[in-house]
A and B are shown apart, each in its own frame.
Chain A
């Protein structure tokens, strides 16, 4: 047995089933919260805001809100996915199975990313009801969405491995990711900021992700698209290295 196909499939399907069991929580809750953003910011407030780079405000915020959902969902999917078996002790079954660490990680992250992309597709469809959404570069958009989903699912896996309790699990998504997305130009263009805060924003990696995604939608951007792709790839590599090192040591999982 060189590749444990059935083992890989078992974890993947098991994770997807968990998603389906909790469809209300997994799908409805991001759907409702994003719809509220569209209604409040897009339709109500957006009516008073002038076009940005020729795009109406309601349309302008779609990529940013999509990114917000993708990041929070992919992180929470996999962090809970690996944290639960660790918490309730069922992880030992995976540890004792003839499945490699790589197969396990890819199965968890693959399932997490798939769930995120499903939620992303639903959010995108919902957005079309609230705003004029056009995609100038569809292949680039799909590439970025898949890349972001996998990368942050892997980051979520890392959080799930490192966390020792539920509090630690929620700290990074709520105290780091959400502010970074909100301050990363999801609801505004960086040009609107005073020069000092513009400079500060350059250090926020999420800025480049949102900017890249917005470029794939409307062809407008503050930065070169390659900066976005490069920063995403770099983060992916960092996560891969961190997960490999931690799991090799059995950190928090295997003594």
Chain B
């Protein structure tokens, strides 16, 4: 059974300016999983991560990491966590090697140059170890931030928008890095705007909006929903009830009674569309138009956020 590593309980944050960034958030993170937190700007993603990492003080609620409280036992929790911040904030005049070694020291670990060498090599930074940070491109700086976050061999890694403003090639490289980290057993929590990112690398997906978690689900479950398509059949005449001969298709009648909706899966060998159309004809229904639509994570996400905002 997978162990729960992070337990977030009724976590709330109200900033000094009155902004309520988190509203009684509850969430468990399993050891070794990759959890993607999706949400629009200002949803509370960064606040949530910042509280767990110790950068922001919660207004109420608790968070435990491996059973340790983030406030009371901050030394235990923080030494387990590495964080890659959203902003590319680095000391411009320091060298790559020095800044990564500095981070390791800050987290209370004795110097281990061979380990720093290993992570710099893995992140293709070794040949740049003596360069000053101001000499690096944005993408390279992002890698340095990851190296800094990994410098103290953390068990949990937070990535706050790791691929924001990063080109496609580098984004895919980042995903490879995350994948190789997963293999070492590191728990990864990442926030992202890119639904594609969540689809590619996450085990679970959480959707956060207006300070509330509105969905947390296994990616597989979401993919199941994503694999579904809907065939909308527009009729020439209104229909009051579905004929008995069409019951096996689980059709439903659209709002204006001029449509029939048929849901099918592309993963099935046969979608049943040919038979349905034949049976529709046999039932004497006249068709006007056909339309198919695929539900994807983006649509689920947009609908969820929209519904949530309307409440």
From the candidates A13, A84, A250, name the one contacting B57 in the complex (CB within 8 A). Answer: A250
Query: Would you give the shortest CB distance from A91 to chain B, in whole angstroms?
Result: 9
Q: In the complex, are the beta carbons of A93 and B75 less than 8 A apart?
A: no
Tell yes or no: B78 within 8 A of A by CB: yes
Bound complex: CA A66 to CA B298 (Å): 67
Please report whether the interface of chain A is mostly helix, strand, loop or mixed according to DSSP. Answer: helix
Q: Which residues of A contact B77 (CB under 8 A)?
A: 98
Residues of B within 8 A of A14 (CB): 102
Nearest-CB residue, chain A, relative to B158? A96
How close is A149's CB to chain B, nearest CB, in angstroms? 24
Q: Is the CB of B54 within 8 A of A95?
A: yes
Give the chain A neighbours of B104 by CB distance below 8 A: 6, 10
A9 to B111, CA, bound (A): 11
Choose one: A21, A88, A96, A250; the contact of B78 (CB below 8 Å): A96
Distance in Å from the Cβ of B146 to the closest Cβ of chain A? 13
Asked if B106 and A7 sit within 8 Å, CB to CB, the answer is yes
Q: A96-B83, A99-B108, A255-B15 are in contact. Are A4 and B54 (CB under 8 A)?
A: no
A97 touches B106 (CB 8 A): yes
**Interface footprint category on A:** 20 to 34
Bin the interface of chain B by size: 20 to 34
B302 at the interface (CB under 8 A from A): no
- Interchain nearest-CB distance for B95 vs A (Å): 10
**Residue on A nearest B54 in the bound complex, by CB:** A96
| CB proximity of B163 to chain A, nearest CB, Å | 19
| B186 located at the interface, meaning its Cβ lies under 8 Å from any Cβ of chain A in the complex | no
One digit per residue, 1 when the CB lies within 8 angstroms of any chain B CB and 0 when it does not, for chain A 222-255 equals 0000000000000000000000000000100011
Within 8 Å by CB of A90, from B56, B89, B110, lies B89
| A45 within 8 A of partner (CB) | no
Contact A98 B79 (CB under 8 A): yes
Least distance between A64 CB and chain B CB atoms (Å): 35
B89, A89: Cβ atoms closer than 8 Å:
yes
Cβ of B108: which chain A residues have Cβ within 8 Å of it? 1, 4-7, 97-99
**Scoring B residues 256 to 275 as 1 if CB is less than 8 Å from chain A, else 0, what string do you get?**
00000000000000000000
CA gap between A5 and B107 in the complex, in Å: 10
Taking the complex as formed, is B10 at the interface, i.e. its CB lies under 8 A from any CB of chain A? no
Complex: how many Å from CA A13 to CA B54?
23
Contacts of B53 in A (CB 8 A): 96
Asked whether, in the complex, the Cβ of A17 is within 8 Å of the Cβ of B106, the reply is no
**Does A133 make an interface contact (CB < 8 A)?**
no
Asked if residues A6 and B105 are in contact (CB atoms below 8 Å), the reply is yes
Q: How far is the CA of A254 from the CA of B50 in the complex (A)?
A: 10
Nearest chain A CB to B138 CB, angstrom units: 15
Question: Does A89 contact B78, Cβ atoms closer than 8 Å?
Answer: no
Q: State whether the Cβ of A11 lies closer than 8 Å to any Cβ in chain B.
A: yes
Q: Is B103 an interface residue (CB 8 A)?
A: yes
Query: Could you list 11 A-B pairs, sorted by A, with CB under 8 Å?
Result: A1-B75, A1-B76, A6-B105, A6-B108, A10-B105, A21-B93, A90-B91, A92-B83, A92-B89, A98-B76, A98-B79
Q: Can you name 13 extra interface pairs (CB under 8 A) apart from A7-B106, A98-B77? A: A1-B79, A6-B104, A6-B107, A85-B91, A88-B89, A93-B106, A95-B54, A96-B54, A96-B81, A98-B74, A98-B79, A99-B108, A254-B57
